[in-house]
Amino acid sequence: MLRHLKLILLAACCSCVIAPSPTPSSSLATSATASPDSDQPAPGINEVFLDADDATIKMLMVRFEGESREISAARNEIMAALKVTAGMAVGDVGAGTGLFEPLLSEAVGPNGKVYAVDLAPKMIEHLHRRIQEEKLSNVEVVQCTQITTELPTNSCDLIFICDTYHHFEHPQKTLADIKRALRPGGRLVIVDFYRKEGESRDWVINHVRCGLATVVKEVIIAGFSLLEYPKIKGLKENYAIIFTK
């Protein structure tokens, strides 16, 4: 019964119905406001992942990497926007099932490095198995904490956070740690859900703690500079935003 309940909860967390959202305004760089968003994530937002078992991980593989999920369907377009080149070091914070790891591994090449970072123990086990089975020799799995990425200092040219920022329980502390892990001039790319009262579907309102304006505000407060809002074909319910250290 308990495992069945966990699967139901995870199914709700992984909902991926696509709804159109407006294009962000560049004015957010200077006039971002937090209201009416919450400063804290939904209570227990990470618990279902922390408590996941092997059966749940298999279910997540189907949900996270299926073509019905907007992020998965647009993964190649997202990769193009990341502008990853050979020899780069990339941190995928919130790697989950490893959707982007094969793509990032190929993009950085044999002289590059990919850090697949996740919090959940079973997800970490899965990532280890995946990189071994797919022979992704330039990918290193890193287990983070609720606050720190556990990445080496000045280790990454790019840190990528996809549909994970809203799971940060201590955003300012985690952003400070991300900044520590980025090399000078390194880029931070965030892909996450638009959240607009009266427009976003109920799941987003209840699950995602803040909208784009709040994310921009928090990241700028953490000492990053806003670089651009890339236009990514296929993203309607999610936005992408790039910052530099």
User: Which 3 state secondary structure label does DSSP give 122?
Assistant: helix
Residue 41 confidence (pLDDT): 58
Q: Residue 51 half-sphere exposure, CB side, CA atoms within 13 Å?
A: 13
pLDDT in tens, the chain (245 residues): 334 334 333 433 443 433 333 334 333 333 333 333 455 655 566 666 666 677 777 776 666 665 668 999 999 999 999 999 999 999 999 999 999 999 999 999 999 999 999 999 998 999 999 999 999 999 999 999 999 999 999 999 999 999 999 989 899 999 999 999 999 999 999 999 999 988 988 988 888 989 999 999 999 999 999 999 999 999 999 999 999 99
* Element housing 185 (H / E): strand 182-193
Give the pLDDT of residue 14. 44
Spatial separation of the C-alpha atoms in residues 21 and 177, rounded to whole Å: 31
The pairing of beta strand 182-193 with beta strand 225-228:
unpaired
Domains, the chain, with CATH or none: 2-244 (3.40.50.150)
* pLDDT score of 54: 75
Spatial contact of 124 and 98, defined as CB atoms under 8 Å apart: no
How many other β-carbons are positioned within 10 Å of the β-carbon of residue 2? 8
